[in-house]
Structures are given as structure tokens and as C-alpha cells.
Structure 1
Amino acid sequence: MATATVSVQAPIVAGTPLFGSMSDLLRDPLATYLGARSAYGDVVRFRAGPPGLRRDMYAVFSADGAQQVLATRSADFRKDNAFYEVLRETIGNGLLTSQDDAYLRQRRLVQPLFTRRRVDGYADQVTQEAVALADAWRGRPDGAVELVGEMHRFALRMVGRVLFGTDVEKAFDVIERTMPALQKYSLKRGLAPVKPPRTWPTPANRRADRNQAELFALCDGIIESRRGGRGTGTQDTGPQGGTEDLATLLVRAENAEDGSLDATELREQVLIFLLAGHETTATALAFALHLLARHPEQQRRVREEVDRLLGGPGGRAPTAADMGELRYLTMVLKEAMRLYPSAPVIGRRAVADTEIDGVHIPAGADVLVSPWVTQRHPDYWPDPDRFDPERFTPEAEAGRPRYAWFPFGGGPRACIGQHLSMLESVLGLAVLLQTYEFEPADEAEVPLGAAITLTAKGPVRCRITPR
């Protein structure tokens, strides 16, 4: 008679007697996750909080495990964990945080705005912004640029122009002032074993309320400008046939089944697109240039590819049709996103007892998968910390598990804007590398941190030389 297979319990990551892993997760979550996989394996259990109030959190680091959580068994892992609860309180119930019928309704209304044809129609605007940035850099007296800040401004300008049809330069100061504080607040509140109600006027809650109010006011202003300007008239057939922007189209989004977005939903969608719409692109651009500055041979290969296609300095601007021809540049970008994923951790909650990689996950458990760890997993990535764009040849990609690389998430909740992000990143890099050579300005490694998104704790500087 066959014996039933019994799943094993996840090993508990060692922490301190008083707070478990909470201090490590707050101090340096990236190193904590990497160390846990190396010491304990592909499914581990963190315990955070003082005795009697500790909460377990399961981390899944294998590619197959990530695929189960995000895709093949996504119905068993919901966005109900502590961090998404805090995010809903902080940035609303938009496409990133909503679930069930609310999510499906929002996705159906928003999906037509992100078709490949519509997104490709914004290529000219992307390259115009990239050319403007390259021109602005010519005035740098010492040729030094700080990539993170520059790429965040550049990506936000593209979001403003493409998604909102307006200059959002003023939004940069609001986002830079409010979002880091809200991220830290969300991380601490998500890990806290006891949370004061959001309505209590604690100092942390009051600061979060002020930052939230600034972001909401920013979004309300964008929506009002779309209602009062291009928000009237006949809807166009896409960017090629008119000048409509996505904010205007959101205002008008409507179908017979789902109706339209109400005022709160509009604000929440605009806020998600404003934040997520520039964060992934900015991170990819900044670290792709950082890596190329440190690897002159790979930079030379990119320049040769760009020059062959576009004609070198002073040549033509890239178009959406060039995306398929910029193969090595795309490989560089994917490798940068492997090493520096803008969302290093993705959280869910198990809705039933289940098993991942032979390890028991109880119903109600907080579960996370980590692009940061899986994309450095030695089973899929030999010498994982080495920058090597050749990892992304078609042959190499075909030889790896699908979820060995997932910087845009995956499954039914994959990032709806991933094609737009890739378009902006590839075309933006092509223009900048067509115009400049990049060299490192600092020898030290960039210190990194993470709350909701990956952050550089110091400047990411390089020197540029006009070609």
C-alpha cells in the first residue's frame, strides 16, 4: 500500500529572541532575503514581532514556486496580505491593489488603453523627450550626471506627456517628497504586529495623511484639467489618429457591462499610473546606464548596434518599428532589470492550505515571492552577480524556467504597462547612447534599500562625453 507524501514545514529563519526577523527586514530586507535562501532553501518562514505577537511570513524563492503563486495557482494567493492592506489605506483601491469584481471591472475598462498599437503610437513623444534630455545634458560643465534623479525626472516627464498630456514637472517635487515617506510608513505598518487604527491621530498616521492628501490633490488637478480641456469631444481611434492622452481616455472609459469609472476610481487609477508608470522605467534606465558605464565592452556593442540602425550621432531618432532590431540593447536592459528589479518583493496571502516545492503553506499565511532573490538564484543564473547581457539570447531564455525572470510580476496580475515601460526604456537608451559615452564617476558599489520599490541609498553618478 502506497504511503501518502507528507509535506515538510518551512524552516524558520533565525532572528533575535525579542523581535524575530523584524529588525533585519526593516534594516536590510534585500540582504535578509538573499541570506535566507542561501542558508535555508527555497521556501522559508520569517517570524516578526515580540513573543506572543509574532506573525509568520513565508518566502518562496524558486522559479517554479513563483509561477505557482503568481500564475498557475493565482486564485489561491490573493492580495490580502498586511502590506496590501496598508497600500489600500494609503493609495486607494486602484488597479494595483483591487481584487475580484472590482479588479476585473477596472482591468476591462483600462485594458484598451494599453494595446500594443496604442502604446506604439507614443514612440515619437518618447524620443522627443529623450532628445530634449540629451540636449539639456550638453550644458553640464563637468560632464557629471546623477542617474537616479535624472531618470526619475525623465520617466515622469514621459508619463506626464504620454499618460496625462501635460507637463508634470511640478509633480516631481510632490512625489519625491511624499512617496519615500509613505513607502517607509507602509513597510513599518505592514510588519507591525499591532497597528493603531488608521483613523487614530498618531504622529505617523498624521504624516501619512498629509502626504496622501498632497498626492490626491495632484491627481485631482490632473483629472480636472482633462475634463476641462481635451476631456470633451469625440474619442479618437488611438495616438496615430489624434492627440488624446490616457488620462482623457480614462475620464471617458465606459462600456455597457461595467459603466464608467467614478471620481474616486479615476483618482486611484491616475495615482497608480503616475507612480508605477515612472518607477519601473526610471529604475531600469538608471541602472542600465550605470552598468554600461562600468562595462565598456558591452557599451561599445550597444553603440555599434544603435549606430548601424540609426546612423550614429546626429542620425535619425528611433521608432517603435526599431524595437525588434535593437536586440543587444534589449538584452542589456533585461539584464539590468534582472539585477535591479524595481519591485524586489511581491506579496500575497494563501487562501487555503497548500504546498509549494514540497513545503506546507497554511491557510491565511502571508506569502512573498522575490524577483530580487529568484533573479540571482544560482540554479538559473551562473555567477549571478555578474553583468552579462548574453543571458538573454533567445536560446538562453528558452533554457530557463519561465519565472526565473519576472520584473513585471506575472500571471493575471502582471503589470499592464510593461510594453509601455519597455518602449520608453529601449528608445530612451538608444537616444542617449547615440549621443553620449558613459564612464563611472565612482568606484564604490551603490548601496541599495527597499520598501515597496528598490531604492538607491546614495548617488548613482557617471560622467558623460558627447560623441
Structure 2
Amino acid sequence: MTTPSTNIPGPTGLPLLGSMLDLKRDSLGTYLNAHREHGDIVRFTAGPPGLRVELYAVFSAEGAQQVLATDSANFRKDNAFYQEVRESFGNGLLTSQDEDYLRQRRLVQPLFTRRRVDGYAQAVTGETASLLASWRDAPDATVDVVDEMTRLTLRAVARILFGVDVEAAVDVVERCFPVIGNYTLQRGYSPVNPPRNWPTPANRKAASAMDELYAVCDRIIEKRRADGDSATGDDLLTLLAQAESAEDGSLDASEIRDQVLVFLLAGHETTATSLAFALHLLARHPEHQARARDEAVRVLSGRTPEAYDLDALPYLTQVLKEAMRLYPAGPVIGRQTVAAAEIGGHTIPAGKDVIVAPWVTHRHPRYWEEPERFDPERFTPELEKERPRYAWFPFGGGPRACIGQHFSMLESVLALSMILRAYELEAVDLDVPVDTGITLRAAGPARCRLRPLDKEGEGNVPNG
């Protein structure tokens, strides 16, 4: 039996700062380079003496499965980054742990069954139709698909959450979320932070944004809870306010707000990333775009898509899965070890920060031939069965897998089918740089030129 090695390889970095500057400048590129040079388990040191930290990266599919699933109890969300997310967005499903998480999951899970989620399709298609109508007046017949998909997914998830109160929430979320997200990110990756209650400019700006966001959520929640059993809406907020069980009781107002904030964060930014990059990739690869459009036209025959169409659109689903392989919305997932862990022939000590990285594993040459090439054929059922389960994990995995993954796929496929049937897209920006926020985000424009099509996906329609 081979004894696990405690001598884990990794980049030396700078004498005083280790890999801190590389990780700050380009964390995703740094992880890719480290994988190529050092293998599936890599140790990073970062920060000045006295504040230096160790970070262990696990890049294999088998290692990711161990961290997220088989040994998940030994890898907790105890790192500094998750603590900052808790402080900003509450202790909802994304950040809660132990009994808090289990109780919340039991109460919320019934709201995310496939049957329930399929009922949200009309909100998605309605918002998509409005977006497509607005594109008729796009200057120079050109749109930035990142901005447009962010607007679409925010409006869709806000309508599903807030129902008739959607307009009261959307403007506040659009204004406040970027401020809170950037603030959380800066604190999450900084070795030293001033207390949040110190009156620094950054603290004051973020506190103002959080106060405004919390206030609009609290007003709508108070209204729903006051309606009680007489509430007739089928929006998610009404269902959250009514959720209860003999074992777990019900969610109080602050718990409902925490779930709403997490759903807003995870429910629009992640899906927007997947949709935007799917469109951009199709705009760069017209042969795949034509095939996806042909499928949408053939299946839908000019009608508005419904939830039941999802299974009849396999190529569109493959396109989205390949976009999520190349551009996973959660490119890095962090944990912290409770006890020492043996992974891939190495021992990671207790109490250490560990990451698994879909960004790297999705490009691992052991699982993906020519990994940088866009090829939806990778996701035929036959090829999916041949790969390890965690060669592709854009929704995380194990007991903490994203509760909204069916909703994300439903929203993405329905929206994409409508967009491709209405417009042909040509990429203006061929390369779109990315960086890491709380989720993956474009660091530059992803503009596409639009050519309107008729209802059958052919010919020209007057633009205006």
C-alpha cells in the first residue's frame, strides 16, 4: 500500500508574496498553468510573511467527487470568502451549513420539483418575447449578449420570485447587486479587512446598497406574510412564506429574505453567464447555430415553447452544456478541510483551504479531447456515459448541488430556442475576456450583430 505524500507540488511564486499576485491578476489562468506543470493536486502559498496562507487545488474529476460528494462532510464552507458572502447576502441555501442547511433544504425543496419548476416556463417565455421585441430597435442592429442576458434572467427570476411586485424589485436589484457583489469579492480575497461597521467609503457605499436591497425585499415579504393563507399568488415568495412542516416549522421573515437574496444572486447571474456565452459561441460558429435553429424551428413550428419541449430539444441542450463546460458560471468552488484528507495519493492537512475548479477540470485532457474547441457533440448521451461523473459539474455536486439546476436548464433552453428562431447572430467581438467575481463574468463586451428572421427561422423581417 502506497503511503500518501505530504509533499504536494506547486508554484514557488515570488519570495515575499508567493503566488498572491498571479492569483489576483488571473486566477483562472494561474490554475490552468499550475495544473499543466504540477498535476492534479497543487499547493499554492500566497501573501506576505505573517499573513501567508496555503491553498490546495484539486483538479481531477475523481478528486472533485471526493470533495463535493463522497467525503463532503470533511470539506466545509468555512473559508473567508463564504463568510463574506454570508455577511452580504444572508445565511440562505448557498452559505448555510449543518442543521440550518438541512432544515432550509427540506422546506425549500418542494418548491423546486420538476413539476413546480415547469410552471415557471411562462414567465421565462414572456420575458424573452419582450426582450426580442426590444432588439428591433437595437442601434446598428447590435447587442451585447452579456448585458442582454443579464437583463433577461434578472427579470425572469424576479417575476418568478415576486410576481406582481416584480417592477418594485428589478430596479433596486440592478442598481445594488453589482455594488454588493464587488464589495464582497474584494473583502473575500483580501488578507486583512477593516470591520464592516467602520465608516470607510467602501463600507458606507456597500451598507447603503444592502439597506436599499433588504428594504424592498422586506416590504414585499411583509405583504405576503400579512396575506397569510389568503394569499392566492403562485410566485415563489408566496410559496416560501407558506412553506412549513411539522418537523421544521416555517421560515421567519429574515430566513425568507436570505433565501430570496440567494435565489436572486444564483438564479440570474449564473444563468445569464451560460446563456450569454452559448449565444456568443454560436455566433462564432454558424454551422452549430444553424443546426440549433433548425431543431428549434422543427420542434416548435412557430409556437411559444413550453416546459414539455425541453426533452425534444436535445441539440440545444448539448449547446448549453458545452457552453457551461467552457464557461462554468461557478469556475472555482471553495471548501476547508475539517480533518486531514487523502486525495490522489497526497495528504491535505486539516484546517486548510481547498478548491475544486470546474474551469480546469472541464479542460482536463484526460476527459476532453481538444478541450478549448467548442463542440456540442461532446454531450451526446453515449459520450456522457463514458466520462467520470465529475468531469463536468457546473452546478456543483453532492449534497450541496444547486437546487435550481433544472430551472436553469429550462430557462436557458426555452430562451435560446426563441432567440435563435427570431434572429441570426454574428459575433462582433471574437474574444471575450473573463474574470472571477462571485460568479464568472465577462471582462469585456460580447457584441453580436442581429439579422431578423421570420417565424420559421428564415428570411428577413423589417428591423423596426
- Tell me whether the two structures share a fold, i.e. TM-score over 0.5: yes
Root mean square deviation of aligned Cα: 1.8
- TM-score (norm. length: structure 2): 0.93
Confirm or deny that 1:323 pairs with 2:315: no
Q: CA 1:274 to 1:415, structure 2 compared with 1: closer, same or farther past 3 Å?
A: same
Confirm or deny that 1:419 pairs with 2:406: yes
- Structure 1 alignment gaps of length 5 or more: 236-242
| Equivalent pair of 2:124/2:415 in contact (CA under 8 Å) | yes
Cα separation, 1, equivalents of 2:136 and 2:225: 38
| Equivalent pair of 2:326/2:362 in contact (CA under 8 Å) | yes
> Following TM superposition, by how much is the alpha carbon of 1:38 offset from its aligned partner in structure 2, in angstroms?
1.3
Question: What one-letter code is carried by the residue in structure 1 that aligns with 2:371?
Answer: P
1:241-320 map, 5 Å:
243-311=233-301, 315-320=302-307
Cα separation, 2, equivalents of 1:109 and 1:274: 18
Question: What one-letter code is carried by the residue in structure 2 that aligns with 1:397?
Answer: E
Cα separation, 2, equivalents of 1:261 and 1:137: 41
| Equivalent pair of 2:6/2:348 in contact (CA under 8 Å) | no
- The structure 2 residue matched to 1:33, chosen from 19, 31, 45, is 31
Provide the secondary structure at the position in 1 that maps to 2:366: coil
Provide the secondary structure at the position in 1 that maps to 2:368: coil
> Following TM superposition, by how much is the alpha carbon of 1:375 offset from its aligned partner in structure 2, in angstroms?
0.7
Deviation string 1:372-401 (CA, Å, 9 cap, x unpaired) is 111111111111111000000011111111
Question: What one-letter code is carried by the residue in structure 2 that aligns with 1:424?
Answer: E
1:134-149 map, 5 Å:
134-149=132-147
Deviation string 1:400-448 (CA, Å, 9 cap, x unpaired) is 11011111111100110111111110001111111111111233x1111
> Following TM superposition, by how much is the alpha carbon of 1:125 offset from its aligned partner in structure 2, in angstroms?
2.4
- The structure 2 residue matched to 1:364, chosen from 345, 351, 354, is 351
* Structure 2 equivalent of residue 130 of structure 1: 128
- The structure 2 residue matched to 1:47, chosen from 45, 48, 51, is 45
Question: What one-letter code is carried by the residue in structure 2 that aligns with 1:357?
Answer: G
1:21-420 map, 5 Å:
21-166=19-164, 168-169=166-167, 171-227=169-225, 232-233=229-230, 243-311=233-301, 315-420=302-407
Provide the secondary structure at the position in 2 that maps to 1:138: helix
Question: What one-letter code is carried by the residue in structure 2 that aligns with 1:408?
Answer: F
Provide the secondary structure at the position in 2 that maps to 1:367: strand
> Following TM superposition, by how much is the alpha carbon of 1:171 offset from its aligned partner in structure 2, in angstroms?
4.1
Cα separation, 2, equivalents of 1:367 and 1:245: 38
Q: CA 1:217 to 1:22, structure 2 compared with 1: closer, same or farther past 3 Å?
A: farther
- TM-score (norm. length: structure 1): 0.93
> Following TM superposition, by how much is the alpha carbon of 1:124 offset from its aligned partner in structure 2, in angstroms?
2.2
- The structure 1 residue matched to 2:447, chosen from 453, 461, 464, is 461
| Equivalent pair of 1:82/1:366 in contact (CA under 8 Å) | no
Provide the secondary structure at the position in 2 that maps to 1:85: helix
Deviation string 1:298-334 (CA, Å, 9 cap, x unpaired) is 01101111111112xxx11111111111010100010
Cα separation, 2, equivalents of 1:19 and 1:183: 26
| Equivalent pair of 1:22/1:191 in contact (CA under 8 Å) | no
Q: CA 1:462 to 1:4, structure 2 compared with 1: closer, same or farther past 3 Å?
A: closer
Question: What one-letter code is carried by the residue in structure 1 that aligns with 2:221?
Answer: I
Question: What one-letter code is carried by the residue in structure 2 that aligns with 1:271?
Answer: L
| Equivalent pair of 2:158/2:170 in contact (CA under 8 Å) | no
| Equivalent pair of 1:48/1:193 in contact (CA under 8 Å) | no
- The structure 2 residue matched to 1:439, chosen from 426, 434, 448, is 426
Deviation string 1:234-291 (CA, Å, 9 cap, x unpaired) is 67xxxxxxx4111001111111111111121111111111111111211111111111
> Following TM superposition, by how much is the alpha carbon of 1:197 offset from its aligned partner in structure 2, in angstroms?
3.1
Cα separation, 2, equivalents of 1:62 and 1:110: 32
Cα separation, 1, equivalents of 2:15 and 2:170: 42
Question: What one-letter code is carried by the residue in structure 1 that aligns with 2:198?
Answer: W
> Following TM superposition, by how much is the alpha carbon of 1:141 offset from its aligned partner in structure 2, in angstroms?
4.5
| Worse-matched range after superposition: 101-110 or 184-193 | 184-193
* Structure 2 equivalent of residue 239 of structure 1: none
Question: What one-letter code is carried by the residue in structure 1 that aligns with 2:53?
Answer: R
| Equivalent pair of 1:48/1:191 in contact (CA under 8 Å) | no
| Equivalent pair of 2:429/2:445 in contact (CA under 8 Å) | no
Question: What one-letter code is carried by the residue in structure 2 that aligns with 1:416?
Answer: I
| Equivalent pair of 1:70/1:411 in contact (CA under 8 Å) | yes
Q: CA 1:410 to 1:86, structure 2 compared with 1: closer, same or farther past 3 Å?
A: same
Cα separation, 1, equivalents of 2:142 and 2:291: 23
1:3-18 map, 5 Å:
5-18=3-16
| Equivalent pair of 1:49/1:55 in contact (CA under 8 Å) | yes
| Equivalent pair of 1:345/1:371 in contact (CA under 8 Å) | yes
Cα separation, 1, equivalents of 2:106 and 2:358: 27
Question: What one-letter code is carried by the residue in structure 2 that aligns with 1:396?
Answer: L
* Structure 2 equivalent of residue 449 of structure 1: 435
Cα separation, 1, equivalents of 2:260 and 2:289: 36
> Following TM superposition, by how much is the alpha carbon of 1:44 offset from its aligned partner in structure 2, in angstroms?
1.0
| Equivalent pair of 2:224/2:231 in contact (CA under 8 Å) | no
Percent of paired sites with the same residue: 65
Question: What one-letter code is carried by the residue in structure 1 that aligns with 2:437?
Answer: A
Deviation string 1:89-124 (CA, Å, 9 cap, x unpaired) is 121111110000100111111111001111111222
Question: What one-letter code is carried by the residue in structure 2 that aligns with 1:325?
Answer: A
Question: What one-letter code is carried by the residue in structure 2 that aligns with 1:257?
Answer: E
